Amino acid sequence: PVLLLVIAVFTRVLAGADDNTAGEVLGGFALATMVPIIGVIAGTGAIGPEIDDGSVLYLLAKPVKRP
């Protein structure tokens, strides 16, 4: 959240942009970077126990039958 505020301030001060431009920049930045980062954090948390047990290679390499 702090990084988004810094980007918003720089957008308004350096570019002389209005509220709409700052909102578009922040919206694009949040969608392009924050969503994938949150996905990686959630995914790592989901397979964390398998990584600790050492069974993650078995889970990822085991073939799955298709219906």
Kindly give the interhelix angle for 19-29 and 2-15, rounded to the nearest 10 degrees.
140
The residue ranges of every structural domain in the chain are: 2-61
More confident site: 40 or 18: 40
More confident site: 40 or 7: 40
Cα 27 to chain centroid distance, Å, stands at 13
- pTM above 0.85? no
Span 42-59, pLDDT tens digits: 888 888 888 788 887 887
